[in-house]
Structure 1
Amino acid sequence: MTTLQGAGPASRRVLLSPPDVGPLEESYLIAALRSGWVAPAGPDLQAFEREIAERVGTTGALAVSSGTAALHLALLGVGVGPGDVVLVPTLTFVATANAVRYIGARPVFVDCDPQTGNVDVQLVAALIERLRSRGERVGAVVPVDMFGSCADYDALVPLCVDAEVPLVEDAAEALGASYQGRAAGSFGRVGALSFNGNKIMTTSGGGMLVSDDAALLARARHLSTQAREPTPHYEHRETGYNYRLSNLLAALGRAQLVRLDGMIARRRQLRDRYAKLFAPVPGVRLLGAEDTGSNCWLTVITVERERCGWRADDLAAHLSERDIETRPVWKPMHLQPVHAGAESLLTGAAERLFADGLTLPSGSALSEPQVGRVLAAIDEFLTLGAGGPAA
């Protein structure tokens, strides 16, 4: 695939997960422009919603301006209100927790399973019991499908059903992934997807709610268009939001969706090459590598310094010197200044992953020469002995 990602000196840098777009996306955008449907509404927007719903296996979908907007509307849709508490993984991107704060609710953070990075279900159960014993209302549980691998829904779904707490699935990183043959985004009452520029597929910026709950989606659709009433004039009886995705970006998303399976296959192929390269290295493993349903959005390694004699940030520095981008895993929410003092139930697993994890270039747009550069640079680092024992 020929990408439209710029040329020149900046293009030498190997990026973590650059957009993968080319002639098909260009043709869809040109067709949308020529159709005259440039304003937010339009046939591509409607078609994109139908196609995503079909892909995820839900009866409906609503395209919005970002994954964060989708989370905000999803939480409103399940009835979260001011003063409620919402259970959120501490290992996630900040948007998951921020959406809770938008409503005036309070995020309570839950640690992760060290093997997968996904939320620790036993801790979720313990927290629900603790919070209710204090008389607090648990408005929702929001699991996050980390790095493209689904959470343990065999345990989470019945737990939330028994506790009568809505499950809002943050599948922002997991479009195209599956769990026990069921698509990411289809668990719980509503799911939220993201089409940010670095995601498995992109609309430049955008997101989607997916659900079987027609009333929830209708309510979210109303709020996403400034809560405008169906009158000839502009009338608003409540505060709404400017959250609708544009028809042009939906056209881009439709082209990306056509290519989604191929982009996932390319990322999986790259993950397999990393697995082969690190297989003989003691103390290094790929996070969630055993998950055959993952969309392989980002490949993450974890490093046991005591066994291999080097740290994750040693490899990161080596690759940075060779103009190759890497990134630590998400800094846990309970360590973020913006959420300082928030209640948490912790085991230390997320902090260890933050200290010992490293995200490697994983994008489907990476050319074979770029992939070769990355693998050669890692092999050089391992061959040189990684610069000696870690301090």
Structure 2
Amino acid sequence: MDKFIPLSVPNLKGNELKYVTDAINTEWVSTSGAYIDEFESEFADYLKVESAVSCQSGTAGLHLALILSGVAADHEVIVPTLTFIATVNPVKYLYAYPVFMDCDDSLCMDMAKLKLFCQTECTFINNKLINNSSGRHIKAVVVVHVFGNMADMSALMDIAEKYNLKVIEDATEALGTYYLEGSYKGKYAGTIGNIGVYSFNGNKIITTGGGGMMVSSDTSIMKRAKYLSTQAKDDAVNFLHNEVGYNYRMTNLQAALGVAQLEQLEHFISVKKENYRIYKSSINNKISGLKVMDFREDVRPNYWFYSLYILNLDKYDRKKIIDCLANDNIQTRPLWGLIHEQKPYLNNQTYMINKAYDYYNRIVNIPCSSNLSAENVKKVLIKICSIS
């Protein structure tokens, strides 16, 4: 059998071993150490923000972001249905209610539908957006920059300003993506809303094995994020705590990995861009019934995931494509199951969801690691061409 070609795995060919060994030699391996400070500082510098706060995971970051946005029990939060479930679960942690929104052709939240929902299904009174059907206060929107693409943040921020909504950017898949034009030209995914959250899971464009990061233009929010993520410790000597905090800290070992990974981020993006170009030109020009989806023209994406879209469902079946490639030891995956159809969320409100169903039925993600060789790209293409 041919050598396994994974979907998306880490690329650890830089200074990872050097920095982790240094952390071990200095015996700073837990939730304090110089690499944590360095990683946070260099991450903020890369994104051109004032500060960043590391945390245990992207999910932990989203949980804290909701808390810091004032979301509490009986509030509602608008979320996409086309996302990984970790985007939505923290809403439930706070006993709040998600309201599910459709995607547009970028796979990100449909802002036209969001605007219509706010106009026709809600009442704005006393500076609060009230959901007419539930009577609850809609406090925030969690927007996801799917697969390294970028949502229409200009439209979203206009809606948020009009209806006093907090905006949390789930940029866990979009580190390095930024606008090339428009009112947010030069702004990175995660740096436009009130709080941005990133993930360093093993399949992300850079990894610390686990871990995440939070950013905000409001330094007071970041100060409070650090406080809550480190057990809300008010007196480090006498262990006094005036609030309930969380053990959401990143370890120094993880941060050492992060520093080394961040050094290579732009290289990773350039490799992924070239492999994406090869896939797209080969499939879109030579295979009838399939195409590789575009990214937005007004952004520089990080090319995290490549989406193979089935144009002709009579000719191609999503499961058959996945199974055929798996038989040749090539890993692919379908889109996530739509979250509003998951058992914990069956009773939550949805609004005009239709495109998400179409994309769910037609998309297969194909190998996209930053260390994917040209030879393996060719193998994947040959196998896709052989499917009929």
Q: TM-score if structure 2 supplies the norm length?
A: 0.92
| C-alpha distance in 1 between matches for 2:355 and 2:13 | 40
Counterpart position of 1:43: 34
Amino acid at match of 2:107: G
| Partner residue, 2:109 | 119
Please state how far the C-alpha of 1:290 moved relative to its aligned partner. 4.7
2:176 alignment partner in structure 1: 176
Instruction: Give the drift of 1:287.
Output: 2.5
What's the offset of the Cα at 1:377? 1.4
- 2:200 matches 1:195: yes
Larger strand fraction of residues: 2
1:91-106 aligned within 5 A: 91-106=82-97
Query: CA distance change for structure 1 residues 284 and 376 in 2, over 3 Å: closer, same or farther?
Result: closer
Superimposed CA distance per residue, residues 42-71 of structure 1 (whole angstroms, 9 cap, x where no aligned partner): 111011111111111211110001000000
Distance in 2 of aligned mates of 1:354 and 1:372: 26
Deviation at 1:298, TM superposition (A): 0.4
Which amino acid in structure 1 is aligned with residue 200 of structure 2? F
Deviation (angstroms), 1:23 = 4.4
Report the Cα offset of residue 231 of structure 1. 4.4
Compute the displacement of 1:177 (Å).
Answer: 0.6
Q: Is the 8 A contact 1:49 1:63 kept in 2?
A: yes
Q: Which runs of 5+ in 2 are unaligned?
A: 123-129
Matched, 1:303 2:302: no
Alignment check: 8 A CA contact 1:300 1:357 kept: yes
1:323 to 2:329 alignment: yes
Which of 242, 250, 258 is residue 237 of structure 1 equivalent to?
242
Within-5 A mapping of 1:277-356: 277-280=282-285, 281-291=287-297, 292-306=299-313, 309-356=315-362
Alpha-carbon separation, structure 2, partners of 1:21 and 1:153: 33
Residue 127 of structure 1, CA deviation: 2.7
- Secondary structure in 2 aligned to 1:209? strand
Report the 3-state secondary structure (helix = DSSP H, G, I; strand = E; otherwise coil) of the residue aligned with 1:143.
strand
Structure 1 pair 270–231 and aligned structure 2 pair: CA distance change class (3 A): closer
Please say which of residues 21-30 and 321-330 is displaced more in the overlay. 21-30
Stretch of structure 1 that moved more, 67-76 or 226-235: 226-235
**Taking structure 1 as reference, are residues 284 and 379 closer, same or farther at Cα in structure 2, changes over 3 Å only?**
closer
**Shift, 1:140, TM fit:** 0.6
For residues 288-343 of structure 1, give each alpha carbon's deviation from its aligned partner in whole angstroms, at most 9, with x where no partner exists.
3454511110000111225x721222221210110100000122111111211211
CA–CA separation in structure 2 for the residues paired with 1:58 and 1:216: 13
Contact 1:107 1:342 in 2 (8 A): yes
1:30 is displaced (CA, Å) by 1.2
Are 1:159 and 2:159 matched, yes or no? yes
Name the SS for the 2:60 alignment partner.
helix
RMSD: 1.6
Equivalent AA in structure 2 for residue 313 of structure 1: K
Aligned to 1:4: none
More moved, 132-141 vs 67-76: 132-141
Deviates more, 1:370-379 or 1:12-21: 370-379
Q: SS at 1:374's partner residue?
A: helix
Give the conservation status (yes or no) of the 8 Å contact 1:148–1:173: yes
On the 8 A contact 1:149/1:288 being kept in 2, the answer is no
Match in the other structure for 1:25 = 16
Contact 1:117-1:287 within 8 A present in 2 as well: no
Query: Which segment drifts farther, 39-48 or 286-295?
Result: 286-295
Aligned residues of 1:85 and 1:138 also touching (Cα < 8 A): yes
2:145 alignment counterpart? 145
SS in 2 for 1:186: coil
CA 23–178 in structure 1, closer or farther in 2 if over 3 Å, else same: closer
CA displacement, residues 135-182 of structure 1 (integer Å, 9 cap, x when unaligned): 421111111000001100121111111111111101000001112321
CA distance in 1, matches of 2:160, 2:272: 33
Deviation of 1:364 (Å): 0.7
**In structure 1, how many angstroms separate the alpha carbons of the residues matched to 2:301 and 2:291?**
16
Q: TM-score, normalised by structure 1?
A: 0.91
Q: Is the 8 A contact 1:109 1:344 kept in 2?
A: yes
Letter in 1 for 2:169: E
State whether residues 78 and 216 of structure 1, in contact with CA within 8 Å, keep that contact through their aligned partners in structure 2: no
CA distance in structure 2 between the partners assigned to 1:138 and 1:163 by the alignment: 9
SS class of match (2:166)? coil
Contact 1:108 1:344 in 2 (8 A): yes
The answer on 1:275 being equivalent to 2:280 is yes
Amino acid of the structure 1 residue aligned with 2:96: A
Q: Distance in 1 between matches of 2:208 and 2:295?
A: 28
Q: Is the 8 A contact 2:131 2:137 kept in 1?
A: no
Residues in 2 aligned to 1:275 and 1:91: alpha-carbon distance in whole angstroms? 23
Give the deviation of 1:373 after TM superposition: 1.9
User: Higher helix fraction: Structure 1 or Structure 2?
Assistant: 1
Select 2:61's aligned residue among 67, 70, 73: 70
Q: Is contact 2:66-2:168 (8 Å) kept?
A: yes
Identify the residue that residue 75 of structure 2 maps to in structure 1. 84
Offset of residue 284 of structure 1: 2.4
Q: Is the 8 A contact 2:131 2:138 kept in 1?
A: no
For residues 352 and 370 of structure 2, what CA distance do their matches in structure 1 show?
A: 35
Check conservation: 2:106, 2:296, Cα contact below 8 A.
Answer: no
- Residue of structure 1 in register with 2:365 after alignment: 359
